[in-house]
Amino acid sequence: MHAPSFWDAGGPRWPGRLLAPLGTLVAQATARRVARPGWRAPVPVICCGSPMVGGAGKTPVAIAIGERLRSWGVEVHYLTRGYGGRAQDTVRVDPAVQDASEVGDEALLLARVAPAWAGPDRVQSARAAIAAGAQALVMDDGLQNPGLAKTLSLMVVDGGAGFGNRRVMPAGPLREPVREAASRCGAVVLIGEDTTGALSDIGLPVLRARALPGPEVAALAGQRVLAFAGIGRPAKFFAMLRAAGIRLVGERGFADHHVFRPAELDALAREAARLGAMLVCTEKDVVRLAPEWRGRVTSVGLRLAFDDPASLDARLAEALR
């Protein structure tokens, strides 16, 4: 589903006010849940989380951290819920035999970097990863999951979206109030410019990062492009392509983790043919496409460039100690 418009910072206010009492109940329930002590693993646990529902950029941050730790010689394993997949127990992700319907799209992206474990029980996944040789665990999401104690939690914020109307579900897009989430984090990873003033009163160190397209974007130079995306904020992907100088002749946004039906893909292909354009989507989208469609669509990855990588390195090194 698409997030309702009143969740946005500039959306209508009365639905949020009307639903605020329910949001208070959700916030109280979350506070009781996260207060429970979690299992302390014998290896460092680094959580890339958010107080928001939907995509804030947690997976790209987890990927960047995993790549960084691997470059230091650390045996990193990923833990993820496997949202969108049907796995009910902990599974080690194998992109060669599993697809997004089994383990979720994000798990497949993580497994390209390092061993990844998908499942609802983070402790069970952590134990399996440690038994398989993990020296550090990186969690994609899970800030509100108390089962596993975290060595370092990073709050990921999409600078263009901020915290929406700053209300808790269903009155807004928050899983819990921002201050409560911040109290369990060591720093904020801000992706892009903070256009909503989201960080004005958080009081955490800020690690600034920019989202850049992967090298495959070079193949789009001089081409007409029809871009589509089923991620948390499709506009972010389209803006990244435009900033890279790509000529977009069409943009089609879908809900996060959207499962593309054949009729939708056929319609996109017909529109691209009419416009004389290439079909382009994100890496996260292409792993959800049927195999026969992956060769007909060009995917563009995303990488993060940190303004001050030494500051990130210092926090990671402290977590490893």
Per-position pLDDT tens, the chain of length 321: 577 889 988 788 899 999 999 999 999 999 999 999 999 999 999 999 999 997 789 999 999 999 999 999 999 999 999 887 887 889 999 999 999 989 999 999 999 999 999 999 999 999 999 999 999 999 999 999 999 999 999 999 999 999 999 999 999 999 999 999 999 999 999 999 999 998 887 899 999 999 999 999 999 999 999 999 999 889 999 999 999 999 999 999 999 899 999 999 999 999 999 999 999 999 999 999 999 999 899 999 999 999 999 999 999 999 999
- Contact between 188 and 34 under an 8 Å Cβ cutoff? The reply is no
Q: Which residues pair with 306 in a beta bridge?
A: 209
* Among the listed residues 123, 108, 104, the one whose alpha carbon sits nearest the alpha carbon of residue 36: 123
| The pLDDT value given to residue 171 | 96
C-alpha to C-alpha distance for 125 and 123, rounded to whole angstroms: 5
What is the DSSP annotation of 210-250?
Answer: EEEE-GGGGGGTT-EEEEEE-SS-HHHHHHHHHHTT-EEEE
C-alpha to C-alpha distance for 30 and 175, rounded to whole angstroms: 8
The set of residues, in sequence order, having a beta carbon less than 8 Å from that of 162 and lying 6+ positions away, is 9, 194, 195, 196, 197, 198
| The pLDDT value given to residue 8 | 87
Q: Map tokens 């992109």 to a residue.
A: 95
- Whether the full predicted model's pTM is greater than 0.85, yes or no, is yes
| The pLDDT value given to residue 1 | 58
Helix 58-71, helix 309-320: angle, nearest 10: 70
| The pLDDT value given to residue 54 | 78
| The pLDDT value given to residue 85 | 81
Structural domains in the chain plus CATH codes: 33-211+305-320 (3.40.50.300), 215-300 (3.40.50)
C-alpha to C-alpha distance for 108 and 164, rounded to whole angstroms: 29
| The pLDDT value given to residue 46 | 98
C-alpha to C-alpha distance for 219 and 21, rounded to whole angstroms: 51
* Among the listed residues 129, 114, 112, 111, the one whose alpha carbon sits nearest the alpha carbon of residue 45: 129
